[in-house]
Structure 1
Amino acid sequence: MRLRYVLNEALLGLWRNATMTIAMIITMAVSLTMLGASVLLYWQVEQAKDYYYGRIEVSIFLRDDITDAQRAALGAAIDRSPLVADKRYEDKQDAYARFKEAWRESPDLVRTVGPGALPASFRVKLKDPSRYAVFVSQLHDQRGIETVVDQRRLLERVFRIFTATQRTALVIASLMAVAAVLLVGNTIQVAAYSKRREVAVMKLVGASNWFVQAPFVVEAMAAGLVGAVAGFVLLLAGELLVPPEWTQALPPVPDDRVWMMLPLLAAVGAGVSGCTAWLTLRFQVRV
Protein backbone atom coordinates (compact mmCIF):
# COMPACT_ATOMS: atom_id res chain seq x y z
CA MET A 1 0.00 0.00 0.00
CA ARG A 2 2.81 2.39 0.89
CA LEU A 3 4.72 1.55 -2.29
CA ARG A 4 1.61 2.19 -4.37
CA TYR A 5 1.14 5.56 -2.65
CA VAL A 6 4.76 6.55 -3.29
CA LEU A 7 4.56 5.60 -6.97
CA ASN A 8 1.22 7.37 -7.47
CA GLU A 9 2.50 10.54 -5.84
CA ALA A 10 5.67 10.43 -7.91
CA LEU A 11 3.68 10.10 -11.16
CA LEU A 12 1.37 12.92 -10.12
CA GLY A 13 4.39 15.08 -9.32
CA LEU A 14 5.89 14.44 -12.75
CA TRP A 15 2.58 15.37 -14.36
CA ARG A 16 2.04 18.54 -12.30
CA ASN A 17 5.51 19.87 -13.12
CA ALA A 18 5.60 18.61 -16.71
CA THR A 19 7.50 21.57 -18.11
CA MET A 20 10.29 21.45 -15.54
CA THR A 21 10.37 17.66 -15.74
CA ILE A 22 10.89 17.79 -19.51
CA ALA A 23 13.64 20.38 -19.07
CA MET A 24 15.29 18.17 -16.45
CA ILE A 25 15.09 15.11 -18.70
CA ILE A 26 16.58 16.99 -21.66
CA THR A 27 19.43 18.43 -19.58
CA MET A 28 20.16 15.04 -18.05
CA ALA A 29 20.05 13.37 -21.48
CA VAL A 30 22.55 15.82 -22.98
CA SER A 31 24.95 15.58 -20.04
CA LEU A 32 24.80 11.78 -19.98
CA THR A 33 25.28 11.64 -23.75
CA MET A 34 28.49 13.65 -23.41
CA LEU A 35 29.57 11.46 -20.50
CA GLY A 36 28.93 8.29 -22.49
CA ALA A 37 30.73 9.68 -25.53
CA SER A 38 33.78 10.61 -23.46
CA VAL A 39 33.88 7.13 -21.87
CA LEU A 40 33.63 5.43 -25.28
CA LEU A 41 36.31 7.74 -26.66
CA TYR A 42 38.53 6.90 -23.70
CA TRP A 43 38.12 3.18 -24.44
CA GLN A 44 38.85 3.75 -28.12
CA VAL A 45 42.02 5.75 -27.43
CA GLU A 46 43.32 3.17 -24.95
CA GLN A 47 42.55 0.36 -27.39
CA ALA A 48 44.26 2.27 -30.19
CA LYS A 49 47.36 2.82 -28.04
CA ASP A 50 47.63 -0.90 -27.35
CA TYR A 51 47.11 -1.66 -31.04
CA TYR A 52 49.49 0.90 -32.56
CA TYR A 53 52.19 0.88 -29.90
CA GLY A 54 52.55 -2.85 -30.41
CA ARG A 55 53.33 -2.16 -34.08
CA ILE A 56 55.60 0.85 -33.74
CA GLU A 57 58.62 0.86 -36.02
CA VAL A 58 61.65 3.06 -36.49
CA SER A 59 62.02 3.93 -40.17
CA ILE A 60 65.60 4.45 -41.32
CA PHE A 61 65.38 6.04 -44.77
CA LEU A 62 68.44 5.62 -46.97
CA ARG A 63 70.12 8.03 -49.35
CA ASP A 64 69.75 7.35 -53.05
CA ASP A 65 73.54 7.24 -53.47
CA ILE A 66 74.13 4.68 -50.71
CA THR A 67 76.51 1.91 -51.70
CA ASP A 68 75.97 -1.80 -51.18
CA ALA A 69 78.80 -1.85 -48.66
CA GLN A 70 77.28 0.99 -46.66
CA ARG A 71 73.85 -0.68 -46.70
CA ALA A 72 75.38 -3.97 -45.54
CA ALA A 73 77.29 -2.22 -42.76
CA LEU A 74 74.15 -0.44 -41.61
CA GLY A 75 72.19 -3.70 -41.60
CA ALA A 76 74.92 -5.39 -39.56
CA ALA A 77 74.94 -2.51 -37.05
CA ILE A 78 71.17 -2.84 -36.62
CA ASP A 79 71.50 -6.60 -36.11
CA ARG A 80 74.17 -6.09 -33.43
CA SER A 81 71.98 -3.79 -31.36
CA PRO A 82 70.45 -5.52 -28.31
CA LEU A 83 67.51 -3.08 -28.52
CA VAL A 84 66.23 -4.50 -31.82
CA ALA A 85 63.39 -7.03 -31.80
CA ASP A 86 62.92 -7.29 -35.57
CA LYS A 87 64.30 -5.75 -38.77
CA ARG A 88 63.35 -5.82 -42.43
CA TYR A 89 64.69 -4.11 -45.52
CA GLU A 90 62.32 -2.36 -47.92
CA ASP A 91 63.66 -1.39 -51.35
CA LYS A 92 62.19 1.25 -53.65
CA GLN A 93 59.81 -1.18 -55.36
CA ASP A 94 58.50 -2.48 -52.03
CA ALA A 95 58.06 1.08 -50.79
CA TYR A 96 56.11 2.01 -53.92
CA ALA A 97 53.87 -1.06 -53.65
CA ARG A 98 53.08 -0.23 -50.01
CA PHE A 99 52.40 3.39 -50.94
CA LYS A 100 49.91 2.34 -53.64
CA GLU A 101 48.14 0.05 -51.19
CA ALA A 102 47.94 2.73 -48.49
CA TRP A 103 46.60 5.37 -50.90
CA ARG A 104 44.49 3.16 -53.15
CA GLU A 105 41.48 5.41 -52.46
CA SER A 106 43.35 8.38 -54.00
CA PRO A 107 44.41 7.29 -57.52
CA ASP A 108 45.28 10.86 -58.56
CA LEU A 109 47.88 11.04 -55.79
CA VAL A 110 49.29 7.64 -56.70
CA ARG A 111 49.73 8.71 -60.32
CA THR A 112 51.86 11.69 -59.28
CA VAL A 113 54.41 9.46 -57.54
CA GLY A 114 56.79 7.37 -59.62
CA PRO A 115 58.19 3.94 -58.65
CA GLY A 116 61.60 5.41 -57.91
CA ALA A 117 60.45 8.44 -55.94
CA LEU A 118 60.26 6.74 -52.56
CA PRO A 119 63.50 5.93 -50.72
CA ALA A 120 64.61 2.49 -49.61
CA SER A 121 64.57 1.95 -45.86
CA PHE A 122 65.17 -0.34 -42.95
CA ARG A 123 62.05 -0.95 -40.81
CA VAL A 124 63.11 -1.70 -37.25
CA LYS A 125 60.94 -2.79 -34.37
CA LEU A 126 62.44 -2.10 -30.95
CA LYS A 127 61.94 -4.22 -27.86
CA ASP A 128 61.25 -1.01 -25.94
CA PRO A 129 60.04 1.86 -28.19
CA SER A 130 60.87 4.41 -25.48
CA ARG A 131 64.61 3.74 -26.03
CA TYR A 132 64.51 5.22 -29.51
CA ALA A 133 67.17 7.87 -28.72
CA VAL A 134 69.62 5.23 -27.47
CA PHE A 135 69.11 3.17 -30.62
CA VAL A 136 69.66 6.16 -32.92
CA SER A 137 72.86 7.08 -31.08
CA GLN A 138 74.23 3.62 -31.93
CA LEU A 139 73.93 4.48 -35.64
CA HIS A 140 75.57 7.90 -35.59
CA ASP A 141 78.71 6.74 -37.39
CA GLN A 142 76.86 4.87 -40.16
CA ARG A 143 76.95 6.22 -43.72
CA GLY A 144 74.10 6.46 -46.20
CA ILE A 145 71.30 7.44 -43.82
CA GLU A 146 68.98 10.18 -45.07
CA THR A 147 66.74 10.48 -42.00
CA VAL A 148 65.34 8.44 -39.13
CA VAL A 149 61.65 8.64 -38.21
CA ASP A 150 60.22 7.44 -34.91
CA GLN A 151 56.58 6.45 -35.42
CA ARG A 152 56.02 6.66 -31.69
CA ARG A 153 56.47 10.44 -31.74
CA LEU A 154 54.01 10.79 -34.61
CA LEU A 155 51.45 8.67 -32.78
CA GLU A 156 51.87 10.62 -29.57
CA ARG A 157 50.87 13.81 -31.39
CA VAL A 158 47.73 12.12 -32.71
CA PHE A 159 46.86 10.71 -29.30
CA ARG A 160 47.35 14.11 -27.71
CA ILE A 161 44.62 15.42 -30.00
CA PHE A 162 42.32 12.55 -29.05
CA THR A 163 43.08 13.07 -25.36
CA ALA A 164 42.28 16.79 -25.66
CA THR A 165 38.98 15.90 -27.35
CA GLN A 166 38.25 13.42 -24.58
CA ARG A 167 38.93 15.98 -21.86
CA THR A 168 36.78 18.57 -23.64
CA ALA A 169 33.89 16.11 -23.72
CA LEU A 170 34.37 15.43 -20.00
CA VAL A 171 34.38 19.15 -19.18
CA ILE A 172 31.20 19.72 -21.18
CA ALA A 173 29.59 16.70 -19.51
CA SER A 174 30.59 18.03 -16.09
CA LEU A 175 29.10 21.45 -16.80
CA MET A 176 25.89 19.87 -18.06
CA ALA A 177 25.82 17.64 -14.98
CA VAL A 178 26.02 20.71 -12.74
CA ALA A 179 23.15 22.27 -14.69
CA ALA A 180 21.16 19.04 -14.32
CA VAL A 181 21.79 18.91 -10.57
CA LEU A 182 20.66 22.51 -10.12
CA LEU A 183 17.58 21.88 -12.23
CA VAL A 184 16.71 18.74 -10.26
CA GLY A 185 17.05 20.64 -7.00
CA ASN A 186 14.91 23.50 -8.26
CA THR A 187 12.23 21.12 -9.55
CA ILE A 188 12.05 19.30 -6.21
CA GLN A 189 11.78 22.58 -4.33
CA VAL A 190 8.86 23.67 -6.51
CA ALA A 191 7.17 20.28 -6.15
CA ALA A 192 7.61 20.29 -2.37
CA TYR A 193 6.26 23.85 -2.09
CA SER A 194 3.17 23.00 -4.17
CA LYS A 195 2.38 20.14 -1.76
CA ARG A 196 3.29 21.91 1.46
CA ARG A 197 -0.21 21.56 2.96
CA GLU A 198 -0.42 17.85 2.26
CA VAL A 199 3.04 17.38 3.72
CA ALA A 200 2.08 19.34 6.85
CA VAL A 201 -0.97 17.10 7.38
CA MET A 202 1.11 13.95 6.91
CA LYS A 203 3.66 15.19 9.47
CA LEU A 204 0.83 15.91 11.95
CA VAL A 205 -0.46 12.34 11.74
CA GLY A 206 3.01 10.96 12.40
CA ALA A 207 4.41 10.13 8.95
CA SER A 208 8.17 9.60 8.94
CA ASN A 209 10.55 11.86 7.01
CA TRP A 210 11.45 9.07 4.62
CA PHE A 211 7.80 8.35 3.84
CA VAL A 212 7.16 12.02 3.12
CA GLN A 213 10.32 12.48 1.06
CA ALA A 214 10.10 9.19 -0.89
CA PRO A 215 7.68 10.43 -3.64
CA PHE A 216 9.94 13.40 -4.42
CA VAL A 217 13.06 11.20 -4.57
CA VAL A 218 11.31 8.63 -6.78
CA GLU A 219 10.07 11.46 -9.00
CA ALA A 220 13.61 12.74 -9.51
CA MET A 221 15.00 9.24 -10.07
CA ALA A 222 12.33 8.50 -12.68
CA ALA A 223 13.18 11.69 -14.56
CA GLY A 224 16.89 10.84 -14.35
CA LEU A 225 16.23 7.32 -15.62
CA VAL A 226 14.25 8.60 -18.60
CA GLY A 227 17.03 11.09 -19.31
CA ALA A 228 19.58 8.25 -19.20
CA VAL A 229 17.60 6.18 -21.72
CA ALA A 230 17.25 9.23 -23.97
CA GLY A 231 20.98 9.88 -23.65
CA PHE A 232 21.77 6.29 -24.62
CA VAL A 233 19.52 6.58 -27.69
CA LEU A 234 21.35 9.78 -28.68
CA LEU A 235 24.65 7.97 -28.17
CA LEU A 236 23.58 5.13 -30.47
CA ALA A 237 22.30 7.59 -33.06
CA GLY A 238 25.57 9.51 -32.93
CA GLU A 239 27.58 6.32 -33.43
CA LEU A 240 25.48 5.40 -36.48
CA LEU A 241 25.51 8.89 -38.00
CA VAL A 242 29.22 9.70 -37.58
CA PRO A 243 30.97 9.14 -40.95
CA PRO A 244 33.33 6.12 -40.77
CA GLU A 245 36.25 8.14 -42.18
CA TRP A 246 36.16 10.38 -39.09
CA THR A 247 37.07 7.50 -36.79
CA GLN A 248 39.02 5.21 -39.14
CA ALA A 249 42.23 5.96 -37.22
CA LEU A 250 40.68 4.37 -34.13
CA PRO A 251 39.63 0.74 -33.73
CA PRO A 252 35.84 0.28 -33.47
CA VAL A 253 34.29 -0.02 -30.02
CA PRO A 254 32.89 -3.54 -29.45
CA ASP A 255 29.08 -3.71 -29.33
CA ASP A 256 29.11 -5.14 -25.81
CA ARG A 257 30.89 -2.03 -24.55
CA VAL A 258 28.38 0.23 -26.27
CA TRP A 259 25.46 -1.61 -24.64
CA MET A 260 27.33 -1.52 -21.35
CA MET A 261 26.74 2.22 -21.39
CA LEU A 262 22.97 1.76 -20.88
CA PRO A 263 23.16 0.44 -17.29
CA LEU A 264 26.03 2.83 -16.56
CA LEU A 265 24.09 5.90 -17.72
CA ALA A 266 20.93 4.64 -15.99
CA ALA A 267 22.78 4.23 -12.70
CA VAL A 268 24.40 7.67 -12.97
CA GLY A 269 21.18 9.41 -14.04
CA ALA A 270 18.97 7.82 -11.38
CA GLY A 271 21.63 8.01 -8.68
CA VAL A 272 22.56 11.65 -9.21
CA SER A 273 18.91 12.71 -9.46
CA GLY A 274 17.88 10.74 -6.38
CA CYS A 275 20.78 11.99 -4.26
CA THR A 276 20.18 15.59 -5.37
CA ALA A 277 16.49 15.33 -4.48
CA TRP A 278 17.24 13.85 -1.06
CA LEU A 279 19.88 16.48 -0.26
CA THR A 280 17.55 19.26 -1.41
CA LEU A 281 14.75 18.01 0.82
CA ARG A 282 17.13 17.35 3.70
CA PHE A 283 18.91 20.69 3.85
CA GLN A 284 16.80 23.24 1.96
CA VAL A 285 13.15 22.18 2.18
CA ARG A 286 11.38 21.35 5.40
CA VAL A 287 9.02 18.46 4.68
Structure 2
Amino acid sequence: MSLNSVWYITKETGRNLVYNTWMTLASVSTVAISMFVLSFFLVLTVNMNHLTTVLQNQVEMRVFINTNVPRSKEMALLNEADKWPGVRKIQFFTKQQAAESLKREFPDQRDLLTLIAKSNPLFDGFNVYTKNPAEIPALAVRFQHQKVVHNVVYEGQVVRRLSRLSIIMKWVGWVVELLLGLATLFIIINTIRLAVFARRREVAVMKLVGATDWFIRWPFILEGLVLGLVGAGIADVVVAQGYHWLVAAAAGALPFWPMAPYSQVMGKTVDFTLGGGLLVGGLASMVALRRFLRV
Protein backbone atom coordinates (compact mmCIF):
# COMPACT_ATOMS: atom_id res chain seq x y z
CA MET A 1 0.00 0.00 0.00
CA SER A 2 1.48 3.38 -1.07
CA LEU A 3 1.90 6.40 1.19
CA ASN A 4 -0.82 8.22 -0.75
CA SER A 5 -3.24 5.39 -0.01
CA VAL A 6 -2.30 5.40 3.67
CA TRP A 7 -2.79 9.16 3.82
CA TYR A 8 -6.15 8.91 2.07
CA ILE A 9 -7.39 6.13 4.38
CA THR A 10 -6.27 8.05 7.48
CA LYS A 11 -7.86 11.28 6.23
CA GLU A 12 -11.10 9.53 5.35
CA THR A 13 -11.23 7.89 8.77
CA GLY A 14 -10.81 11.25 10.49
CA ARG A 15 -13.33 12.90 8.17
CA ASN A 16 -15.93 10.21 8.79
CA LEU A 17 -15.50 10.50 12.55
CA VAL A 18 -15.77 14.31 12.50
CA TYR A 19 -18.53 14.80 9.93
CA ASN A 20 -20.71 12.01 11.31
CA THR A 21 -20.66 13.33 14.84
CA TRP A 22 -23.93 11.81 16.00
CA MET A 23 -23.10 8.39 14.60
CA THR A 24 -19.65 8.60 16.19
CA LEU A 25 -21.13 9.51 19.57
CA ALA A 26 -23.74 6.76 19.27
CA SER A 27 -21.11 4.14 18.42
CA VAL A 28 -18.71 5.27 21.15
CA SER A 29 -21.54 5.30 23.69
CA THR A 30 -22.63 1.82 22.65
CA VAL A 31 -19.10 0.45 22.97
CA ALA A 32 -18.58 2.23 26.30
CA ILE A 33 -21.84 0.96 27.81
CA SER A 34 -21.28 -2.57 26.50
CA MET A 35 -17.69 -2.68 27.76
CA PHE A 36 -18.80 -1.27 31.10
CA VAL A 37 -21.35 -4.09 31.49
CA LEU A 38 -18.70 -6.64 30.51
CA SER A 39 -16.25 -5.04 32.94
CA PHE A 40 -18.83 -5.21 35.73
CA PHE A 41 -19.15 -8.98 35.36
CA LEU A 42 -15.38 -9.32 34.95
CA VAL A 43 -14.79 -7.39 38.20
CA LEU A 44 -17.42 -9.54 39.92
CA THR A 45 -15.78 -12.74 38.63
CA VAL A 46 -12.28 -11.62 39.68
CA ASN A 47 -13.52 -10.73 43.17
CA MET A 48 -15.40 -14.00 43.59
CA ASN A 49 -12.33 -15.97 42.52
CA HIS A 50 -10.20 -13.88 44.89
CA LEU A 51 -12.63 -14.51 47.76
CA THR A 52 -12.66 -18.24 47.01
CA THR A 53 -8.85 -18.31 46.96
CA VAL A 54 -8.61 -16.44 50.27
CA LEU A 55 -11.13 -18.77 51.93
CA GLN A 56 -9.39 -21.82 50.51
CA ASN A 57 -6.05 -20.62 51.88
CA GLN A 58 -7.62 -20.28 55.32
CA VAL A 59 -8.87 -23.86 55.36
CA GLU A 60 -6.53 -25.87 57.56
CA MET A 61 -6.06 -29.42 58.72
CA ARG A 62 -5.15 -30.20 62.31
CA VAL A 63 -2.98 -33.19 63.08
CA PHE A 64 -2.87 -34.27 66.74
CA ILE A 65 0.09 -36.25 68.10
CA ASN A 66 -0.18 -39.06 70.64
CA THR A 67 0.70 -38.24 74.24
CA ASN A 68 4.18 -39.06 75.56
CA VAL A 69 5.75 -38.85 72.08
CA PRO A 70 9.26 -37.36 72.32
CA ARG A 71 9.61 -33.87 70.90
CA SER A 72 12.36 -35.12 68.59
CA LYS A 73 9.90 -37.49 66.84
CA GLU A 74 7.34 -34.70 66.55
CA MET A 75 9.91 -32.45 64.89
CA ALA A 76 11.07 -35.30 62.65
CA LEU A 77 7.52 -35.77 61.33
CA LEU A 78 7.16 -31.99 60.98
CA ASN A 79 10.29 -31.73 58.83
CA GLU A 80 9.28 -34.75 56.76
CA ALA A 81 5.70 -33.57 56.17
CA ASP A 82 6.88 -30.10 55.19
CA LYS A 83 8.40 -31.68 52.05
CA TRP A 84 5.31 -33.67 51.07
CA PRO A 85 3.65 -32.69 47.78
CA GLY A 86 0.72 -30.35 48.32
CA VAL A 87 1.86 -28.96 51.70
CA ARG A 88 2.14 -25.17 51.55
CA LYS A 89 2.86 -24.49 55.22
CA ILE A 90 2.92 -26.51 58.44
CA GLN A 91 3.04 -25.10 61.97
CA PHE A 92 3.73 -26.92 65.24
CA PHE A 93 1.78 -26.16 68.42
CA THR A 94 2.02 -27.57 71.94
CA LYS A 95 -0.94 -28.63 74.05
CA GLN A 96 -0.27 -25.59 76.27
CA GLN A 97 -0.62 -23.31 73.23
CA ALA A 98 -3.80 -25.17 72.23
CA ALA A 99 -5.20 -24.57 75.72
CA GLU A 100 -4.43 -20.85 75.54
CA SER A 101 -6.15 -20.68 72.15
CA LEU A 102 -9.28 -22.32 73.59
CA LYS A 103 -9.31 -19.86 76.49
CA ARG A 104 -9.27 -16.94 74.04
CA GLU A 105 -11.96 -18.44 71.80
CA PHE A 106 -14.33 -19.55 74.58
CA PRO A 107 -13.83 -17.18 77.55
CA ASP A 108 -17.37 -17.82 78.84
CA GLN A 109 -17.14 -21.62 78.98
CA ARG A 110 -16.25 -22.00 82.67
CA ASP A 111 -16.47 -25.80 82.78
CA LEU A 112 -14.11 -26.08 79.83
CA LEU A 113 -11.66 -23.60 81.36
CA THR A 114 -11.76 -25.42 84.69
CA LEU A 115 -11.03 -28.76 83.03
CA ILE A 116 -8.09 -27.33 81.10
CA ALA A 117 -6.71 -25.68 84.24
CA LYS A 118 -6.86 -28.89 86.33
CA SER A 119 -5.64 -31.39 83.75
CA ASN A 120 -4.87 -30.34 80.22
CA PRO A 121 -6.35 -33.16 78.05
CA LEU A 122 -5.23 -31.65 74.75
CA PHE A 123 -2.50 -32.81 72.38
CA ASP A 124 0.52 -31.40 70.64
CA GLY A 125 -0.05 -31.13 66.93
CA PHE A 126 0.36 -29.41 63.57
CA ASN A 127 -1.68 -26.89 61.64
CA VAL A 128 -1.31 -27.92 57.99
CA TYR A 129 -2.08 -25.58 55.08
CA THR A 130 -2.21 -26.94 51.54
CA LYS A 131 -1.58 -25.45 48.11
CA ASN A 132 -4.95 -26.76 46.95
CA PRO A 133 -7.75 -27.62 49.41
CA ALA A 134 -8.68 -30.59 47.22
CA GLU A 135 -5.41 -32.23 48.37
CA ILE A 136 -6.42 -32.23 52.05
CA PRO A 137 -8.22 -35.65 52.10
CA ALA A 138 -5.19 -37.43 50.60
CA LEU A 139 -2.81 -35.71 53.03
CA ALA A 140 -5.11 -36.59 55.93
CA VAL A 141 -4.86 -40.27 55.04
CA ARG A 142 -1.08 -40.00 54.83
CA PHE A 143 -0.89 -38.42 58.28
CA GLN A 144 -3.22 -41.05 59.75
CA HIS A 145 -0.81 -43.77 58.64
CA GLN A 146 1.93 -42.28 60.86
CA LYS A 147 2.31 -44.17 64.15
CA VAL A 148 2.78 -41.04 66.26
CA VAL A 149 -0.45 -39.43 65.00
CA HIS A 150 -3.49 -39.64 67.27
CA ASN A 151 -6.10 -38.04 65.02
CA VAL A 152 -6.58 -35.78 61.98
CA VAL A 153 -9.35 -33.18 61.85
CA TYR A 154 -10.40 -31.06 58.89
CA GLU A 155 -13.58 -29.58 57.45
CA GLY A 156 -14.02 -31.94 54.54
CA GLN A 157 -17.39 -30.56 53.51
CA VAL A 158 -16.10 -26.99 53.49
CA VAL A 159 -13.10 -28.05 51.41
CA ARG A 160 -15.28 -29.75 48.82
CA ARG A 161 -17.70 -26.84 48.63
CA LEU A 162 -14.95 -24.26 48.23
CA SER A 163 -13.28 -26.27 45.48
CA ARG A 164 -16.61 -26.73 43.70
CA LEU A 165 -17.44 -23.03 44.11
CA SER A 166 -14.13 -21.99 42.57
CA ILE A 167 -14.70 -24.15 39.49
CA ILE A 168 -18.33 -23.07 39.09
CA MET A 169 -17.46 -19.37 39.36
CA LYS A 170 -14.79 -19.66 36.68
CA TRP A 171 -17.17 -21.36 34.25
CA VAL A 172 -20.03 -18.98 35.04
CA GLY A 173 -17.71 -16.03 34.48
CA TRP A 174 -16.60 -17.31 31.08
CA VAL A 175 -20.15 -18.09 29.97
CA VAL A 176 -21.48 -14.69 31.05
CA GLU A 177 -18.61 -12.85 29.37
CA LEU A 178 -19.08 -14.88 26.16
CA LEU A 179 -22.82 -14.14 26.01
CA LEU A 180 -22.31 -10.45 26.76
CA GLY A 181 -19.50 -10.32 24.19
CA LEU A 182 -21.80 -11.71 21.50
CA ALA A 183 -24.55 -9.27 22.50
CA THR A 184 -22.05 -6.40 22.36
CA LEU A 185 -20.86 -7.47 18.92
CA PHE A 186 -24.45 -7.62 17.65
CA ILE A 187 -25.26 -4.15 18.98
CA ILE A 188 -22.12 -2.56 17.55
CA ILE A 189 -22.57 -4.27 14.17
CA ASN A 190 -26.02 -2.72 13.88
CA THR A 191 -24.80 0.68 15.05
CA ILE A 192 -21.95 0.75 12.53
CA ARG A 193 -24.26 -0.67 9.85
CA LEU A 194 -26.38 2.47 10.24
CA ALA A 195 -23.29 4.61 9.70
CA VAL A 196 -22.34 2.62 6.59
CA PHE A 197 -25.93 2.79 5.31
CA ALA A 198 -25.78 6.59 5.48
CA ARG A 199 -22.76 6.47 3.12
CA ARG A 200 -23.92 3.60 0.89
CA ARG A 201 -24.00 5.79 -2.25
CA GLU A 202 -20.39 6.83 -1.62
CA VAL A 203 -19.38 3.17 -1.36
CA ALA A 204 -21.27 2.30 -4.55
CA VAL A 205 -19.60 5.12 -6.50
CA MET A 206 -16.13 4.02 -5.34
CA LYS A 207 -16.88 0.47 -6.47
CA LEU A 208 -18.06 1.68 -9.89
CA VAL A 209 -14.87 3.69 -10.51
CA GLY A 210 -12.70 0.63 -9.79
CA ALA A 211 -11.77 0.87 -6.09
CA THR A 212 -10.91 -2.51 -4.54
CA ASP A 213 -12.93 -3.90 -1.66
CA TRP A 214 -10.05 -3.56 0.77
CA PHE A 215 -9.37 0.04 -0.27
CA ILE A 216 -13.01 0.80 0.64
CA ARG A 217 -12.93 -1.31 3.78
CA TRP A 218 -9.86 0.23 5.47
CA PRO A 219 -11.36 3.64 6.44
CA PHE A 220 -14.37 1.88 7.97
CA ILE A 221 -12.20 -0.71 9.74
CA LEU A 222 -9.96 2.00 11.19
CA GLU A 223 -13.07 3.93 12.18
CA GLY A 224 -14.38 0.86 13.98
CA LEU A 225 -11.04 0.35 15.72
CA VAL A 226 -11.00 3.97 16.89
CA LEU A 227 -14.60 3.76 18.10
CA GLY A 228 -13.85 0.51 19.95
CA LEU A 229 -10.68 1.93 21.52
CA VAL A 230 -12.29 5.19 22.64
CA GLY A 231 -15.40 3.44 23.98
CA ALA A 232 -13.30 0.90 25.89
CA GLY A 233 -11.13 3.71 27.28
CA ILE A 234 -14.19 5.54 28.61
CA ALA A 235 -15.48 2.33 30.21
CA ASP A 236 -12.07 1.73 31.83
CA VAL A 237 -12.02 5.24 33.34
CA VAL A 238 -15.51 4.75 34.81
CA VAL A 239 -14.66 1.28 36.15
CA ALA A 240 -11.34 2.52 37.61
CA GLN A 241 -13.03 5.37 39.49
CA GLY A 242 -15.93 3.19 40.58
CA TYR A 243 -13.75 0.34 41.84
CA HIS A 244 -11.44 2.76 43.64
CA TRP A 245 -14.48 4.14 45.48
CA LEU A 246 -15.82 0.63 46.13
CA VAL A 247 -12.54 -0.56 47.68
CA ALA A 248 -12.42 2.50 49.95
CA ALA A 249 -16.08 2.07 50.96
CA ALA A 250 -15.65 -1.66 51.63
CA ALA A 251 -12.57 -1.03 53.77
CA GLY A 252 -14.69 1.10 56.10
CA ALA A 253 -17.99 -0.79 56.03
CA LEU A 254 -16.77 -4.39 55.57
CA PRO A 255 -13.14 -4.56 56.76
CA PHE A 256 -13.30 -8.36 56.99
CA TRP A 257 -14.33 -8.77 53.32
CA PRO A 258 -11.27 -9.54 51.14
CA MET A 259 -11.61 -7.32 48.07
CA ALA A 260 -9.36 -8.15 45.11
CA PRO A 261 -6.40 -5.73 44.80
CA TYR A 262 -7.03 -2.66 42.63
CA SER A 263 -4.03 -3.37 40.39
CA GLN A 264 -5.14 -6.96 39.76
CA VAL A 265 -8.70 -6.00 38.83
CA MET A 266 -7.78 -3.05 36.62
CA GLY A 267 -4.95 -4.96 34.93
CA LYS A 268 -7.36 -7.66 33.77
CA THR A 269 -10.13 -5.16 33.00
CA VAL A 270 -7.96 -2.90 30.83
CA ASP A 271 -6.48 -5.83 28.90
CA PHE A 272 -9.94 -7.31 28.33
CA THR A 273 -11.78 -4.12 27.38
CA LEU A 274 -9.12 -2.59 25.13
CA GLY A 275 -8.52 -5.87 23.33
CA GLY A 276 -12.27 -6.55 23.16
CA GLY A 277 -13.03 -3.01 21.97
CA LEU A 278 -10.49 -3.20 19.15
CA LEU A 279 -11.62 -6.69 18.11
CA VAL A 280 -15.33 -5.91 18.23
CA GLY A 281 -14.94 -2.53 16.51
CA GLY A 282 -12.87 -3.90 13.65
CA LEU A 283 -14.95 -7.05 13.22
CA ALA A 284 -18.22 -5.13 13.37
CA SER A 285 -17.04 -2.75 10.64
CA MET A 286 -16.10 -5.63 8.34
CA VAL A 287 -19.39 -7.45 8.89
CA ALA A 288 -21.48 -4.27 8.53
CA LEU A 289 -19.75 -3.27 5.30
CA ARG A 290 -19.92 -6.64 3.58
CA ARG A 291 -23.43 -6.23 2.14
CA PHE A 292 -22.70 -2.78 0.72
CA LEU A 293 -19.69 -3.99 -1.26
CA ARG A 294 -21.92 -6.12 -3.49
CA VAL A 295 -22.42 -3.72 -6.36
| TM-score, normalization by structure 2 | 0.67
Name the residue aligned to 2:243: 238
1:47-196 alignment runs, 5 A limit: 48=54, 52=57, 57-60=60-63, 71-73=67-69, 81=77, 84-85=81-82, 88-91=92-95, 94-97=98-101, 100=104, 111-113=107-109, 116=113, 120-121=122-123, 122-125=125-128, 130-138=138-146, 148-150=152-154, 154-155=158-159, 157-196=161-200
Name the residue aligned to 1:8: 15
CA distance in structure 1 between the partners assigned to 2:103 and 2:231 by the alignment: 48
Name the residue aligned to 2:214: 210
CA distance in structure 2 between the partners assigned to 1:99 and 1:267 by the alignment: 55
Is the CA contact (8 Å cut-off) linking 1:58 and 1:148 kept in structure 2? yes
The alignment's C-alpha RMSD in Å is: 4.2
Q: Provide structure 2 residue ranges, at least 5 long, that are not aligned to the other structure.
A: 1-6, 83-89
Aligned-partner SS, 2:206:
helix
- Per-residue CA deviation, residues 208-231 of structure 1 (Å, 9 max, x unaligned), is 323322332233223322332233
CA distance in structure 1 between the partners assigned to 2:47 and 2:18 by the alignment: 33
Q: Does 1:226 align with 2:212?
A: no
Name the residue aligned to 1:275: 283
CA distance in structure 2 between the partners assigned to 1:76 and 1:238 by the alignment: 52
- Per-residue CA deviation, residues 169-195 of structure 1 (Å, 9 max, x unaligned), is 332222111101111211222222221
Aligned-partner SS, 1:71:
coil
Aligned-partner SS, 1:72:
coil
- Per-residue CA deviation, residues 36-81 of structure 1 (Å, 9 max, x unaligned), is 5535765x479759x93xx87531358xxxxxxx511497875665
Q: How far off is 1:112 after superposition?
A: 3.7
Change (3 A) 1:260 1:124: closer
Percent identical: 21
Change (3 A) 1:263 1:59: closer
Q: Does 1:29 align with 2:29?
A: no
Is the CA contact (8 Å cut-off) linking 2:232 and 2:273 kept in structure 1? yes
CA distance in structure 1 between the partners assigned to 2:199 and 2:129 by the alignment: 70
Number of residues paired by the alignment?
263
Q: How far off is 1:9 after superposition?
A: 0.9
Q: Provide structure 1 residue ranges, at least 5 long, that are not aligned to the other structure.
A: 63-69, 104-109
Change (3 A) 1:73 1:249: farther
